[in-house]
Amino acid sequence: MDCLFCKIVSGQIPAKLVHQGDSVIAFDDINPQAPTHVLIIPKKHFENVGELAANDPLALKELFIAAKEIAASRALAGYRTVFNTGAEAGQSVFHAHLHLIGGRALQWPPG
Ligand code: AMP
Ligand code: ZN
Rounded distance between C-alpha atoms, residue 71 and residue 74, angstroms:
5
Helix H or strand E encompassing 87: none
Mean pLDDT computed over every residue of the chain: 97
Rounded distance between C-alpha atoms, residue 7 and residue 78, angstroms:
31
Give the model's pLDDT for residue 43: 98
Q: How confident is the model at residue 48 (pLDDT cuts 50, 70, 90)?
A: very high
Give the model's pLDDT for residue 36: 98
Determine the number of helices (DSSP H) and then strands (DSSP E) in the chain: 3, 5
Active site includes 97? yes
Question: Atom 19 of ligand 1 has which residue's CA nearest to it?
Answer: 30
The beta-strand segments (E) located in the chain are 17-20, 24-28, 36-42, 79-82, 98-102
47 lines ligand 1 (CB under 6 A): no
Residue 28, CB half-sphere, CA atoms under 13 Å: how many? 10
Q: pLDDT tens for residues 70-91? A: 999 999 999 999 999 999 999 9
